């Protein structure tokens, strides 16, 4: 087996200089059409693949994107959202010979160190920012590091980076109207981590809609983890005026809520309607199956990767707005026994 072909081999085979092969590879102008074709043919024939490391040495590209996820080491579980999101990112990267560098870190300090390290070592061309926080420090950090990024969700403060957003307002409205139409008037909301943008947005919408419907808002704070979701559910069910329906800010909490209701001997959904907001697969395999909103994580991944690559390659990229999330009614919501 011969050694891997290099740009030199291609140049020789095509009877040109390395410079022209480089221009051709990068789709730059200034190469005669015929020459370009000859070069491409030679490259194909040899099965040449440009070495990303060598390329990066001069143009300071890494041909990869970075995803840094912070998770409590106690419960390293990762949202169901995650895998499909990564698969979507991959789809875009693979087509360009790029890769994804993933880091799962246990705390904020390690998180910052990791951003710095990947930047300093020229490991990535940009970062995908998920779980966007209120006034997210990562935006400032990446700016200082002279890096690129794209955010999932729209940052509150000004951000120099493109934002991918998806409208959940309509879906939340649909969900609330669905419950109201079934006859629910005591609809509670278990929130996500309120430092996160989308958690706060969901809470705001919930509050506004209860006001519009003329019913009481009943909010229990939680942080997206099943544990806090379960506790919030217990507090709600302990109330004298316990709700007949609970809307959770994500699916894992809703599933934990179902468990609490079963534990208390409630008959679901007659005694209590439950809904999530993430469209996870697991929601189809719990009992009763979980009413939720759809989410299309792979779509988020594709858009985020494309947007970030555009930014890296052209210096700018527009914000992207994904199709609105819609209601997925399943068996966990029904008319209340007592409204």
Q: Rule CB under 8 A: which residues touch its own copies? A: 4, 49, 51-54, 56-57, 62, 64, 71, 73, 75-78, 80, 82-84, 86-87, 90, 94, 97, 99-106, 110, 113-114, 117-118, 120-123, 226-227, 229-230, 252, 255-256, 258-263, 280-282, 284-288, 297-298
Spatial contact of 187 and 215, defined as CB atoms under 8 Å apart: yes
| Other CB atoms within 10 A of residue 258 CB | 27
**Contact string 27-46 vs DNA (x = CB under 7 A):** --xxxx-xx-----------
Q: Shortest Cβ distance from residue 78 to its own copies (Å)?
A: 4
Total length of the chain? 339
Calculate helix-pair angle for 197-213, 169-182, nearest 10 degrees.
40
Site for DNA in 3-22 (CB under 7 A): 3-4, 6-8, 15-22
Q: Shortest Cβ distance from residue 277 to its own copies (Å)?
A: 17
**Contact string 45-84 vs DNA (x = CB under 7 A):** ---xxxx--xx-xxx-------------------------
List, in sequence order, every residue forming a beta bridge with 248; answer none if it has no partner: 190
Spatial contact of 328 and 206, defined as CB atoms under 8 Å apart: no
Question: In the complex with DNA, which residue's Cβ is closer, 249 or 311?
Answer: 311
- Residue indicated by tokens 């043919």: 41
The entry of its own copies, DNA, none near residue 20 (CB within 5 to 8 angstroms by kind) is DNA
Q: How far is CA 302 from CA 88, 137, 312, in A?
A: 5, 24, 15
Question: In the complex with its own copies, which residue's Cβ is closer, 82 or 173?
Answer: 82
Peptide bond between residue 26 and the one before it cis (omega within 30 degrees of 0): no
Q: Shortest Cβ distance from residue 52 to DNA (Å)?
A: 8
Residue 165: strand, helix, or coil: strand
Distance CA 26, CA 154 (A): 33
The entry of DNA, its own copies, none near residue 293 (CB within 5 to 8 angstroms by kind) is none
Q: Answer left, alpha or beta for residue 159, where phi above 0 means left and psi between -120 and 50 means alpha.
A: beta
Q: Shortest Cβ distance from residue 302 to its own copies (Å)?
A: 13
By CB atoms closer than 10 A (0-12, 13-18, 19+), residue 144 is exposed
Distance CA 306, CA 213 (A): 40
Whole-angstrom Cα Rg for the chain: 25
Question: In the complex with its own copies, which residue's Cβ is closer, 63 or 317?
Answer: 63
Question: In the complex with DNA, which residue's Cβ is closer, 121 or 241?
Answer: 121
Question: In the complex with its own copies, which residue's Cβ is closer, 66 or 155?
Answer: 66
The entry of its own copies, DNA, none near residue 32 (CB within 5 to 8 angstroms by kind) is DNA
The entry of DNA, its own copies, none near residue 256 (CB within 5 to 8 angstroms by kind) is its own copies
Ramachandran angles phi, psi of 219, nearest 5°: -115, 130
Residue 98 within binding range of DNA, rule CB under 7 A: no
Q: Shortest Cβ distance from residue 5 to DNA (Å)?
A: 8
For the record, the structure tokens of 319 come out as: 């914000």
Return residues touching DNA (CB under 7 A): 3-4, 6-8, 15-23, 25-26, 29-32, 34-35, 48-51, 54-55, 57-59
């Amino acid at each position: 087996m011969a050694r891997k072909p290099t740009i030199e081999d291609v140049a020789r085979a095509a009877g040109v200089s390395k410079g022209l092969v480089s221009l051709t590879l990068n789709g730059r102008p200034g190469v005669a059409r015929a020459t370009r074709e000859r070069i491409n043919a030679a490259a194909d024939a040899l099965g040449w693949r440009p070495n990303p490391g060598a390329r990066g040495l001069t143009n300071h590209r890494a041909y990869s994107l970075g995803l840094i996820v912070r998770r409590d080491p106690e419960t390293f579980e990762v949202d169901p959202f995650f895998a499909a999101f990564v698969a979507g990112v991959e789809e875009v990267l693979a087509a360009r010979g790029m890769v994804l560098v993933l880091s799962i870190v246990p705390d904020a300090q390690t998180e910052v160190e990791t951003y710095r390290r990947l930047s300093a070592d020229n490991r990535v061309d940009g970062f995908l920012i998920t779980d966007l926080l209120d006034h997210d420090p990562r935006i400032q950090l990446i700016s200082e590091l002279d890096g690129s990024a794209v955010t999932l969700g729209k940052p509150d403060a000004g951000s120099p980076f493109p934002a991918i957003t998806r409208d959940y307002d309509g879906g939340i409205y649909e969900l609330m109207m669905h419950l109201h139409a079934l006859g629910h008037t005591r609809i509670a909301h278990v929130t996500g981590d309120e430092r996160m943008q989308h958690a706060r947005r969901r809470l705001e919408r919930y509050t506004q809609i209860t006001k519009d419907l003329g019913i009481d808002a009943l909010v229990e704070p939680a942080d997206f983890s099943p544990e806090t979701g379960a506790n919030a559910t217990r507090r709600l069910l302990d109330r004298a005026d316990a709700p007949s329906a609970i809307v959770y800010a994500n699916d894992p909490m809703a599933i934990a809520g179902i468990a609490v209701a079963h534990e208390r001997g409630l008959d679901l959904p007659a005694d209590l309607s439950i809904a999530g907001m993430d469209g996870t697969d697991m929601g189809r395999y719990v009992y009763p199956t979980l009413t939720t909103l759809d989410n299309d994580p792979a779509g988020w991944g594709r858009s985020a990767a494309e947007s970030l690559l555009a930014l890296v390659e052209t210096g700018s990229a527009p914000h992207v707005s994904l199709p609105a999330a819609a209601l997925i009614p399943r068996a966990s919501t029904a008319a209340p026994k007592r409204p």
